[in-house]
Chain A
Amino acid sequence: AQTVTQSQPEMSVQEAETVTLSCTYDTSENNYYLFWYKQPPSRQMILVIRQEAYKQQNATENRFSVNFQKAAKSFSLKISDSQLGDTAMYFCACGGSNYKLTFGKGTLLTVNP
Chain B
Amino acid sequence: GAGVSQSPSNKVTEKGKDVELRCDPISGHTALYWYRQSLGQGLEFLIYFQGNSAPDKSGLPSDRFSAERTGGSVSTLTIQRTQQEDSAVYLCASSLEFRYEQYFGPGTRLTVT
Task: Give the interface of A toward B (CB within 8 A).
Answer: 4, 33, 35, 37, 42-47, 50, 91, 93, 95, 98-106
* B40, B42, B59 interface centre (most CB from chain A within 10 Å): B42
Residues of A contacting B: mostly: strand
B104 in contact with A44 (CB, 8 Å): yes
Interchain CB contact under 8 A, B100 and A44: no
Which B residues have a C-beta under 8 Å from some C-beta of A? Answer: 31, 33, 35, 40-43, 45, 48, 56, 59, 89, 91, 93, 95, 98-107, 109
Query: In the assembled complex, how far is the CB of residue A7 from the closest CB belonging to chain B, in whole angstroms?
Result: 13
With contacts A99-B31, A104-B42, A105-B41 taken as known, whether A43 is within 8 angstroms of B98 at the C-beta atoms is no
Question: Does the CB pair A43–B106 fall under 8 Å?
Answer: yes
Q: Is the CB of A91 within 8 A of B43?
A: yes
Are the C-beta atoms of A102 and B31 separated by less than 8 Å?
A: no
Contacts A45-B91, A91-B43; A99 near B106 (Cβ below 8 A):
no
Cross-chain pairs A/B with CB under 8 angstroms, 11 sampled: A45-B91, A47-B103, A50-B100, A50-B101, A99-B95, A99-B98, A100-B48, A100-B56, A101-B33, A101-B45, A101-B102
Extra pairs beyond A42-B106, A47-B102, A98-B56 (16, CB < 8 Å): A37-B104, A43-B89, A43-B109, A44-B106, A46-B104, A50-B101, A93-B43, A95-B100, A99-B100, A100-B33, A100-B56, A101-B102, A103-B42, A103-B43, A104-B42, A105-B41
